[in-house]
Amino acid sequence: MDARVKPGHDTEPMARKKHREGTGEPSQRALRVGELIRHAISDMLTRGEVHDPVLEGHLITVPEVRMSGDLRLATIYVMPLGGRDAEAVVEALENNKRYLRGEIAHRVNLKFSPDLRFHVDERFAEAERIEKLLRTPAVRRDLEDKSDKE
């Protein structure tokens, strides 16, 4: 028998290409599932389905849900209106995590219901900090100097 390989044929089977590995970007599926979970949580909070005195006293925004690559962990970012009592709201959500996870399992068709983690969304505070920085006299002076030269 001849052990030579025909032209154009590899001796190794073709390996599957690993999509987005190491890029830090979530897959389309993770983005889609995160959005479905975001909508489910938002609906429950808007309709007052979570019976907790802290949560009932706040309007809560859910700007983002980030999923792990295997879809078993959902990190849910929340912000109460006006940013007041943010830590108390996160603690109340953590206390009701079991109920929320069960409801997500019913509303979102997944093989496994993900574990939930709640965090305060810091983007609003960061945007405000940048806005204040841009309004400082030193930055305004620099921007005016730059526009005068053009």
Instruction: Give the global pTM.
Output: 0.70
- Residue 90's pLDDT band, with cuts at 50, 70 and 90, is very high
* Residue 39 vs residues 21, 32, 61, 114: alpha-carbon distances, Å: 27, 11, 11, 15
What gap in Å lies between CA 61 and CA 124, rounded to an integer? 11
Q: Read off the tokens for 24.
A: 């830090």
* pLDDT tens per residue across span 13-32: 544 444 455 567 888 999 99
pLDDT at 48 over 70: yes
Domains identified in the chain and CATH numbers: 28-121 (3.30.300.20)
- Residue 92's pLDDT band, with cuts at 50, 70 and 90, is very high
**Average pLDDT along the chain:** 83
